[in-house]
Each structure stands twice: as C-alpha cells, then as structure tokens.
Amino acid sequence: MLAKRKTVLRLRSLSDFDIGNRTLLAEAVPYLALVRAPSVATEGPQEEEFTVATYNVHRWAGLTGGARFEPERATSVIAELGVDVMGLQEVLRPFSSADPLVRIADELQLHVAFVVTRVHRYGELGNAILSRWPITSLLTLDLSFGRLERRSAIATEFRGEKGSVTVVATHLALVDRSRDRQVRLLLEHSRIQGSVVLLGDLNAWRRCKATRALERELPAEHQNLAWPASFPAARPLLALDRIYARGAKVLEIRSHSSPSASRASDHLPVVARISLPQPNS
C-alpha cells in the first residue's frame, strides 16, 4: 500500500504576494505563494480542443545555467507558444529583483498560480501554472520522499462551457523509486479525477515503473511514433518533458524549437493539442 501523504493547501491574502512584501514559509514547503488574475476578465474552456505546454525554465538562467539571470529569453518563448494552459518548472521568484513570473502573467494577460517547492538562496523555487482560463480550484501536493529531493505538484481545475479539466504540473524526482511513488500518488489522488492532463519535467530519461504506470493509466494516443525530445535544448536527445491525459485525448504533441527556445533554457518546451470528451460522444 502506498503511504498516505498530507495534501498541503495554503491560501493567503493576495496582499502578501506583492513584490517586496513576501512572507516565507520555508519550514512548510511546499506552499502556495501566488495566485493572480489578469486585469481583463476571461472565461473557461469554450471549445472541445485546447492547447497546453510544459516548460522547464531553468531558473531563468538560460542554456548554461549558473548565476546568470536572463528571464527575457524565456519570456519571449512563452509568448511564442500562445497556448491555453502552461506548466512551468524550476521557476525562480527572486528576492533581490522584480518577479519575472508576475511580469509574464501581466504582459500576456494570464492567470497565474505558483507553488514553492524549496527556498533557493536567490529566491523561491517551484512550479507554476499560466492560463488564459480562470482557475476554478487548485491543490498543492507534497511529492517529497526523503530529504534529498524536494518535489511538488500543482493541480488546477478549469470549468467552462465545454466541461471541466484538471491540469497537473509537476517536476518529478531523478531517482526511479521516488519517481514511481510520486506517479502512484498522483494517479490515485481522490481530487485528481475526471478529465486530467498531467504535464511537466518527468525526468523520464529511461523506461521505468513510473513511465509504465503513466502509459497504462494515462495513455497518450498521439500520432507521434516516439515522444518528442526536449533535452538538452541545443541538441535534444532525451524526452524528459511529457504530456499525458486521462478522460481526454492527446491529438498531437511536439517539442517547440526556435532560435529563442534553443538558448532560453536547457529544456525545450513541449506542446500538445488536447480534446475533451463530449457528453454524447
């Protein structure tokens, strides 16, 4: 039996999320640190088909990483994608400078939610959701097993004229055993049901118990013969970044390669076209 994990759900006043007025809960990670809506009102899913993407932004440090801080490059890539919902991994909200995540959401008029997985010496580090649709509800999940790797997931529900869908964004462990436990927790969670899209940096560098479970429970019946390679961005060889669906269908999936994307992070974004089931279909 999989040991039950405590679901962490923390909502705070939006005033706490302003730049320069950040309250840290470092001893209680993961925690919900940001929920923000655009100035223009939007509606939920209005069509049967929609687009999603997953993108590991590498702490805004570009292809080579290190202490570089170049959020403008990743921002331009996010604008290129133009999808309905996007999951971001390795998002850094710095202590000493303006918040790139808030700026992106404001510039593109997107809803945003951010969950802190750990407190980095330069700021809060975690997973984010950017969406054209308003977020109906959200859930923060602690996926950490052991002390070596802090991991989390954020599950956001969207409701609209064409039904509802839950998008789960995560960054899974490097260790096979931990990754398998994380996948089982996500697949069995009582609030991750119905039409579900699971996306993120799943560290699926080889076939293992976790990937077999995902293929069995969330079959990605897309037209590709193989998963699109997304890492390393300059010369993609590994399909670390994945998009799966249950109660919905992956119609098409591809990595997004552009001059900006090849330099903005060590991962390329992966984009998918999804179809929601219709009541009489």
CA dist 2 and 213 (Å) reads 14
DSSP 8-state class, residue 192: S
Quickly list DSSP for 201-218: E---SS--HHHHHHHHHS
Kindly give, in sequence order, each residue whose CB lies less than 8 Å from that of residue 21, ignoring residues fewer than 6 positions away: 15
- The yes-or-no verdict on residue 197 having pLDDT over 90 is yes
User: pLDDT digits over 207-224, tens only?
Assistant: 788 888 888 887 766 555
CA-to-CA distance for 264 and 55, rounded, in angstroms? Answer: 11
What is the average pLDDT across 185-194? 91
Give Cβ neighbours of residue 73 (< 8 Å, ≥ 6 apart): 62, 260, 263, 264, 265
Give the span between the Cα atoms of 106 and 110, in whole angstroms: 7
Say what the pTM is.
0.87
Q: What is the 3-state secondary structure (H, E, C) of 106-173?
A: HHHCCEEEEEEEEEECCEEEEEEEEECCCCCEEEEEECCCCCCCCCEEEEEEEEECCEEEEEEEEECC
Q: Where are the domains of the chain?
A: 14-275
Task: Please write the tens of the pLDDT for every residue from 9-67.
Answer: 433 333 333 334 445 444 578 999 999 999 988 888 888 999 999 999 999 988 887 76
CATH code of the region 14-275:
3.60.10.10
